[in-house]
Amino acid sequence: MRRMRFSFYELRTTDLDAAQKFYAQILGWEWQSSESGGSWLFGSQPVATATPLSARARERGAPPHWLGHVAVPDVEGVVSQLTALGGEQLGPVTQCLRGKVAALRDPQGAVFGVSTRGDGPSPAVVWHELHTTDEEAALKAYSALFSWQPKDTLTLDRNVGPYRTFAWDDAGKSVGGMVGTARAPQVHTHWLFYLAVRDLDSAVQKVRTLGGTVYDGPMVLPSGDKIALCADVQGAVFGLREQTIPIHPYSTSS
């Protein structure tokens, strides 16, 4: 059975050239231009793409951001399910090189995409974190849409509430978490994607040197993993997570 999981990642930015150089220097990604725009490679495998942030999105106040797309067999079916759950379709279903694509907003307000084409597990995006107003309701919604399965419940700051990890399916390991941080007035509901680096301290220093922002970290999690929360020069927020990175994306079970 095909896993419905985040399968490709799109940086929507106001400066493609600057973004290409920024992520290449921090992560070792190589930019490959194509007729459709281009994508970053890790080794020989595509890990993400970058596109201009549309004028319409800018007019609505959208900042540069990372957008994750979930691979699904039936885009229209997911759209129908999501709207029945209280979510929203953002614009029409479109056809592109990645098959059918739609942008959606979940019932708590986080934006994500769905596509009929998937690239398989990415070696570069190693954790998927939903900051939401109701982690229990969000986990139920995504489980209904994509069959994602709850794993562990971690205790964080009592003002934040529990941190609910999830897997793509019953047999899988945890690939992300959902937490109610967006209940705080200064936090908006969003998906945050953590990018893998071999040396977090060095990567954080490069972020600063290149004009990006380090909001938090490096910090060590109870699991022993080291992470940092950053933004690129244009303001798109992303996470960094230190770990060994497989060269071939299909060498990992995540």
Give ∠ CA 38-40-46 in degrees, rounded to 5: 95
Beta carbons of 228 and 219 less than 8 angstroms apart: yes
1 within some domain: no
- Strand 237-242 vs strand 226-231: parallel, antiparallel, or unpaired? antiparallel
41 within some domain: yes
Tell me the residue range of the domain where 53 lies.
6-251
The whole-number average pLDDT for the span 53-73 is 90
The Cα 94–Cα 105 span in angstroms is: 16
Q: Which two tokens stand for residue 251?
A: 């060498």
Residue 55: phi and psi, rounded to 5, are: -60, -40
Beta carbons of 161 and 172 less than 8 angstroms apart: no
- Count of the separate structural domains present in the chain: 1
227 within some domain: yes
Beta carbons of 131 and 181 less than 8 angstroms apart: yes
Smallest CA-to-CA distance from 119 within 97, 139, 104 is with 97
Whether the pLDDT of residue 254 is over 60: the answer is no
43, 51, 57, 177 from 106: Cα distances, Å: 34, 22, 18, 16
Whether the pLDDT of residue 251 is over 60: the answer is no
- Tell which wins on pLDDT, 99 or 152: 152
164 within some domain: yes
177, 222, 244 from 191: Cα distances, Å: 10, 22, 23
- Range with the largest mean pLDDT of 2-16, 146-160, 239-253: 2-16
The Cα 29–Cα 23 span in angstroms is: 7
pTM over 0.85: yes
CATH number, domain with residue 142: 3.10.180.10
**What is the identity of the amino acid at 250?**
Y
Provide the 10 A C-beta neighbour count for residue 158.
7
Beta carbons of 243 and 225 less than 8 angstroms apart: yes
Provide the pLDDT for residue 40. 87
Position 253 confidence tier, pLDDT thresholds 50, 70, 90: very low
**What is the identity of the amino acid at 139?**
L
The Cα 103–Cα 68 span in angstroms is: 10
The Cα 144–Cα 166 span in angstroms is: 13
- The average confidence (pLDDT) of the chain is 88
The whole-number average pLDDT for the span 146-165 is 86
Provide the 10 A C-beta neighbour count for residue 249.
20
152 within some domain: yes
Provide the pLDDT for residue 244. 65
The Cα 36–Cα 51 span in angstroms is: 9
